A and B are shown apart, each in its own frame.
Chain A
């Protein structure tokens, strides 16, 4: 029994290592050199902060995906909710000028509300029309991309439009840099606070308990008398809200405005993060750091070894496959409590 598990685990790890290696070879590079470059960069003097910078939005989106998935809902709409968060927060940001910390909190809250509205819409469509949340979230991703693309070229465009981008947010809404000389911003605190909040919600509150029951045994949720429809909408709203918060944090911490294609690929990576963390809130920042290494290191690979960035997505897909296969090698997950 134990030996078969070890063998299976070995096969999975081997698969996860081999597939990216093959693509690196196809790209004409040595896998070993890629690995050392990646590791040296990630733990190097410039790299570590960049890893964390990328891990911030991935943690927030991953938390949202995990929260929904624990309730049996597949939120694939991280990208769309991220965009909705940037749009709503930046739209209201001019009103928060001169309000100091209150303005910053209001700005972040707007981001959450933007994502939550999109998530709630998905939950509502699912309960009202029995629409698959998987399909609806994916389609809304495209809607969001087109919408923001229009907004930053039109109504919300920069007054001096060199590039397609929005106007700047007031200084009060900017998340301060934590370590001078790096891009590491206070979004890190926001993300870690959310991890703690959601670990508590998931395991200590009635709302979290109800969402866990909904995912583990929907029949028991009906038997217990939970308002399943309202619960579904609420879970999707909270899940989307975290994606939207990631958008606001990214604007406030890095760009100070909406730029074209910001946050591209974060939605999918957020799913991978949630899966690697096995949907456990406390484990999510660590999984996010792993992907932070890929994202930040991907840029380094592009610069130093001339490897194409989509390699990161191949690694991402491999990891999702490997994690999906993990249950084949590991004993059942412990009881949800």
Chain B
């Protein structure tokens, strides 16, 4: 059979860095290929070349045996390739219909006949087994709803190859299942698909074959129906990963007691509605929920970053039983916080690493004396921390914004964790990171638990919660369910709780 798409020797360099180096692979009609690799392995560059967003320096692309040159996304569309981006290209303030029309540049000229177009979109949506609320504003839709629009937009051209970039990263489990189902149905019709994903489960659930990239090169291909996971992971990271530590901790006394807690959002709506739970020493509680159901506000209230409206949070740390709930005192008392929004909270991107080290260390002896910053000691501490935590940076004087997301996160964790920490609040600590960094961070959390630290882990990744947590708790529309021991519940039940408040 002639492959629908064949890439031969694609190379793209950015200065010294070869983002893609002699990349060759092919995909048959009706085949679903997963492309995996660590952050920076070159997946995005490859996708951009296949989508016509950038041109390769050398190498060529063949569609059904014919050589094509794609200079723009429109050329890729003509060749039968559609792309669904990881970060949706939608305009929040416009309606669904307006966004759909925007996605079709050739329809923008002259006068739009919305009615005629709508029947076209409706056909695609029906085909997808979904219906669209054409007049709803995009800002009111869930993440899954937004993805549906992107899908309709991509499928409108009746592509023969659909490229999905990290499509499940932001989806709750039920919507993820629906999406994978859809991809399988499209495959039956002979459409080929490329799935970029960090999650091996996605690949095993829906792909025929995985192409593994590392450092800009294709290092192997793995038949997902026969090969074992260990071998695939070895291909991705290049060596054996540190084994997951699954030792459960021994539960101690409650360190954090939350009673009837009410927290409001900035716009006045109730984010946390009378939530109560205890977090014990030596345990990890996984906090799950669909984004926007109050988890962020709960974490911020616990970390002293948001005022509480009613109820109480009691920390039992050291000799004290109640600590004044502001972020600086909590930090000093041993509450570490890894915020979910790295760039808006955890670091100051325009500062050097040393200055970022100060951010949460202003009450630390040796780093500050009489109100003066001891920059030399901080530089030394930063230097040691980036070595210990394997932060890839040119040194303490490097600018934070020059680091990759994974290295920024390792820096934050290196700064937050350590001696004297007895509670960790971790907001999506592994989101968007490559498989090796994820493993390092998870093992670190497990090791902290073994030391008797109490950990609240907010995660959108249920398998992560299952691997790490002792108990799990769900938030839906501000209401807390649980915590229940992980052994006494099931993924299905948690998924049900997440979607039905």
Q: Which A residues lie at the B interface, using CB under 8 A?
A: 204-207, 209-210, 212-213, 216-217, 219-220, 222-227, 335-337
Set of chain B residues within 8 Å of A219, measured between Cβ atoms:
341, 344-345
**In the complex, which residue of chain A has the Cβ closest to the Cβ of B343?**
A217
Is there a chain A Cβ closer than 8 Å to B304's Cβ?
yes
Chain B nearest Cβ from A300, distance in angstroms:
42
Q: Please tell me which one of the listed residues A204, A205, A225 contacts residue B329 in the complex, with CB atoms under 8 A apart.
A: A225
How far, in whole Å, are A224 and B415 apart by their CA atoms in the complex?
12
Q: Check A337–B351 contact: CB distance below 8 A.
A: yes
Chain B nearest Cβ from A225, distance in angstroms:
3
Q: Check A335–B399 contact: CB distance below 8 A.
A: yes
Q: Check A222–B327 contact: CB distance below 8 A.
A: yes
How far, in whole Å, are A67 and B359 apart by their CA atoms in the complex?
19
Q: Check A209–B355 contact: CB distance below 8 A.
A: yes
Q: Check A225–B371 contact: CB distance below 8 A.
A: no
Ordered by A's residue number, 29 sampled pairs between the chains whose C-beta atoms are within 8 Å are: A205-B372, A206-B371, A206-B372, A209-B373, A212-B351, A216-B351, A217-B345, A217-B347, A219-B341, A220-B345, A220-B346, A220-B347, A222-B305, A222-B327, A223-B327, A223-B339, A224-B327, A224-B331, A225-B304, A225-B326, A225-B328, A225-B329, A227-B326, A335-B352, A335-B397, A335-B399, A336-B351, A337-B351, A337-B354
With A209-B355, A226-B328 as contacts: A204 and B372 at CB distance below 8 Å: yes
Set of chain A residues within 8 Å of B337, measured between Cβ atoms:
223
Set of chain A residues within 8 Å of B305, measured between Cβ atoms:
222-223
Set of chain A residues within 8 Å of B304, measured between Cβ atoms:
225
Q: Please tell me which one of the listed residues B303, B339, B350 contacts residue A336 in the complex, with CB atoms under 8 A apart.
A: B350
Q: Check A205–B344 contact: CB distance below 8 A.
A: no
Chain A nearest Cβ from B299, distance in angstroms:
11
Q: Which B residues lie at the A interface, using CB under 8 A?
A: 303-305, 326-331, 337, 339, 341, 344-352, 354-355, 358-360, 362, 368, 371-373, 375, 397, 399-400
How far, in whole Å, are A329 and B305 apart by their CA atoms in the complex?
38
Set of chain B residues within 8 Å of A209, measured between Cβ atoms:
355, 358, 362, 373
Set of chain A residues within 8 Å of B349, measured between Cβ atoms:
216-217
Set of chain A residues within 8 Å of B345, measured between Cβ atoms:
217, 219-220, 222-223
Chain B nearest Cβ from A219, distance in angstroms:
4
Interface of A is mostly: helix
Set of chain A residues within 8 Å of B399, measured between Cβ atoms:
335
How far, in whole Å, are A222 and B326 apart by their CA atoms in the complex?
9
**In the complex, which residue of chain B has the Cβ closest to the Cβ of A207?**
B371
Q: Check B373–A204 contact: CB distance below 8 A.
A: yes
Chain B nearest Cβ from A306, distance in angstroms:
48
Q: Check B371–A213 contact: CB distance below 8 A.
A: no
Q: Please tell me which one of the listed residues A206, A207, A225, A335 contacts residue B355 in the complex, with CB atoms under 8 A apart.
A: A335
With A219-B341, A225-B328, A337-B354 as contacts: A213 and B368 at CB distance below 8 Å: no
Identify 17 new A-B residue pairs, CB closer than 8 A, beyond the known A217-B345, A223-B303, A223-B327: A205-B373, A206-B362, A212-B355, A213-B348, A216-B348, A216-B350, A217-B350, A219-B341, A223-B346, A223-B359, A224-B328, A225-B326, A225-B327, A225-B328, A226-B328, A335-B399, A337-B351
Q: Check A217–B348 contact: CB distance below 8 A.
A: yes
Set of chain A residues within 8 Å of B348, measured between Cβ atoms:
213, 216-217, 220, 336
Q: Check A204–B327 contact: CB distance below 8 A.
A: no
Set of chain A residues within 8 Å of B344, measured between Cβ atoms:
217, 219-220
How far, in whole Å, are A155 and B158 apart by their CA atoms in the complex?
84
How far, in whole Å, are A119 and B165 apart by their CA atoms in the complex?
51
Chain B nearest Cβ from A90, distance in angstroms:
33
How far, in whole Å, are A61 and B373 apart by their CA atoms in the complex?
26
3 tightest A-B CB contacts, nearest first: A225-B328, A225-B327, A219-B344
Q: Check A224–B360 contact: CB distance below 8 A.
A: yes
How far, in whole Å, are A288 and B373 apart by their CA atoms in the complex?
29
Chain A nearest Cβ from B459, distance in angstroms:
19
Q: Check A213–B359 contact: CB distance below 8 A.
A: yes
Set of chain A residues within 8 Å of B354, measured between Cβ atoms:
337
Set of chain A residues within 8 Å of B400, measured between Cβ atoms:
335
Q: Check A335–B350 contact: CB distance below 8 A.
A: yes
Q: Check A220–B359 contact: CB distance below 8 A.
A: yes
How far, in whole Å, are A226 and B347 apart by their CA atoms in the complex?
14
How far, in whole Å, are A212 and B337 apart by their CA atoms in the complex?
22
Set of chain A residues within 8 Å of B329, measured between Cβ atoms:
225
Which one of A216, A222, A226 has the highest number of Cβ atoms from chain B below 10 Å of its Cβ? A222
Chain B nearest Cβ from A128, distance in angstroms:
15
Q: Check B355–A336 contact: CB distance below 8 A.
A: yes
Set of chain B residues within 8 Å of A207, measured between Cβ atoms:
371
**In the complex, which residue of chain B has the Cβ closest to the Cβ of A220?**
B348
Q: Check B355–A337 contact: CB distance below 8 A.
A: yes
How far, in whole Å, are A336 and B304 apart by their CA atoms in the complex?
27
Set of chain B residues within 8 Å of A206, measured between Cβ atoms:
362, 368, 371-373
